[in-house]
Structure 1
């Protein structure tokens, strides 16, 4: 097993270190769509929020509030107005937390197994939850029962939604595409172009396709239109020599349309899918990066460095393990696509 090149330096990219991080591994990060409020869910059963302040390229964060679940929390999302946070996990329930008003969380959704993924769909005013009980459930949070339950072929591992496109990655490498204008019918079912277990999916900003990442250190770029299939490709990343690491997170930049990958090798990289090039490779942290996200204008990239369970529960001791959340202010050269020499704009 190779060693991490940056072993001994927990912050090799000199990112801002968020104070009072969780006491166990972070499972999701999500920024408010309306303000620089960052929420983290974690394996210590907590949902925490920080208020992030920006001054040029300098950032700082202050703990704002937190709530607890009965078991580890696996996922989170914000309502589009930035007032409310949803969180779900191993206690099989979704809590709705009116964060900005200071209200108490209430349970608004339930599954028969842990809830792995969720997304708020503002165009439909519903919350979609994906579970290891092999269902998707759509919730009007004012009602106790789901407005629709969609059976999946296997456990939900990943989900991305940009109305009307939603893509769900399940066990056995299934990728199920939904047109949310007709959510009760599968639009298309695809076998992942990658050979191993799906870890993350992310819809293109133009909703014409999606990215998929897997445990094999590879990303697939997939277009939905049959006439665009020649543009599909896969590429290797988060590898060092013969060591192959999982791609844990995929995030499109909200302005430039480039994207970030984060992996179990402790690195995050910025890419341009259209020119098929890596824009920037960042230094590797000594621990994996299980999740990451951009804020609403792409000026802050949040990522966490902590244990990611890839070596099993028996190799994890929360009492001695360290969890970090970092904020990185990307330079424009890191996230803006470079002009292609001699190109007319078509590849």
Structure 2
């Protein structure tokens, strides 16, 4: 049987991201519009323990783990990409964009940090080579979401644009670490794609076996696609409707699909919507595995632990704009312990 508990001492404003530590299912980072990154120990019974808060100058829009359990990287509306020593609390600025920084990811394979800003650029950093000036890559439009695999970076942008980059090519851009002026490079992506979704992309998440990705839109749809550019592989891509409710007049009420996360073991994925529901999907069989009981408010973020035994669900109304009038007690983080077969595809052994 699965069980679930609610973390004590949640953020006081909308949540932007939740991330389990690599290789450790009991440590979690949560970033928030309340200008803080939170570090939790989720194994402390009965409702977890807040270990530390790391204050920022402005709302934090994303956070990721670094090389180990004592390192994290954050991004936010102060335009900065920050490195956080989780043990000492010390923060250092890796780079500053020219607008808010929406997303940040860390590649363990290449020890690089990649940030995406609303100034329509990527910054590629090598935090072990400091001081350095990050490589800057211009994007065709505003980025909305990043997802990373051991070999690829997927950048979902406005105007239905999507770029797929080779991680090692990105890492090579940081090899000439220097104190020279900003280094703007023209790196061609592996692939340029147009989203299968007609409306604005809200989230993108890569499959754990590095063979494709799912993306979601503000208009209650999810698309599933594969990296292989061959016609046969591309013929497999599809999109489907979800996170909708039928109103009394028979008209669909459509909600944004705010969050996506792939199960690291089974390859199924979870989606979280503005309707307060979390659903599990088998992307290969094209079917829903289950839908959980409705949560108190909009789903802002989702994350599976590395071992696939836990699913973190962040709930917060108005997380898209960090509304100032969020009342106390409505922002919540739930940790769900999954049963052995809960996230398995139907028919899987």
Measured against the shorter chain, the TM-score band is 0.7 to 0.9
Q: How big is the shift at 1:107?
A: 1.7
Match of 2:151 among 164, 170, 173: 164
Contact 1:138 1:146 in 2 (8 A): no
**Residue 137 of structure 1 pairs with residue 123 of structure 2:** yes
5+ residue gaps, structure 1, are 1-12
Unpaired segments ≥5 residues, structure 2 = 171-186, 247-251
Q: 1:239 maps to which residue?
A: 244
Is 1:26 matched with 2:12? no
Q: 1 CA distance for matches of 2:82 and 2:190? A: 30
Please say if residues 3 and 338 of structure 2, whose CA atoms lie closer than 8 Å, have aligned partners that are also in contact: no
CA RMSD of aligned residues (A): 2.0
1:154 pairs with 2:144 = no
**Alignment check: 8 A CA contact 1:22 1:323 kept:** yes
Secondary structure, counterpart of 1:334 in structure 2 = coil
User: Of residues 191, 194, 201 in structure 2, which corresponds to 1:191?
Assistant: 194
SS of the equivalent of 1:166 reads strand
Matched, 1:122 2:108: yes
Given that 1:24 and 1:318 are in contact with CA atoms closer than 8 Å, whether structure 2 keeps it comes out as yes
1:134-178 deviation line (CA, Å, top 9, x unaligned): 000101124344442111011110000102111101111111111
Matches for 1:2-41 after TM superposition, within 5 Å: 15-35=4-24, 36-41=26-31
Contact 2:255 2:273 survives alignment (8 Å): yes
> Is the CA contact (8 Å cut-off) linking 2:95 and 2:134 kept in structure 1?
no
Return the TM-score normalized by structure 1.
0.88
The 10-residue stretch of structure 1 (141-150 or 255-264) with the greater mean CA deviation from structure 2: 141-150
2:95 to 86, 105, 109: 109
Match of 1:93 among 71, 76, 80: 80
**What aligned pairs does 1:216-235 form with structure 2 within 5 A after superposition?**
216-225=219-228, 226=230, 227-235=232-240
Partner Cα separation in structure 1 for residue 219 and residue 204 of structure 2: 14
CA contact 1:48–1:65 (8 Å) conserved in 2: yes
Tell me, what secondary structure is at the counterpart of 1:261?
A: strand
Query: Which among 334, 341, 345 is matched to residue 326 of structure 1?
Result: 334
Query: Structure 2 CA distance, aligned partners of 1:132 and 1:308?
Result: 20
Residue 74, structure 1, aligned to residue 61, structure 2: yes
Q: How many residues align?
A: 323
| Secondary structure at the counterpart of residue 342 of structure 2 | helix
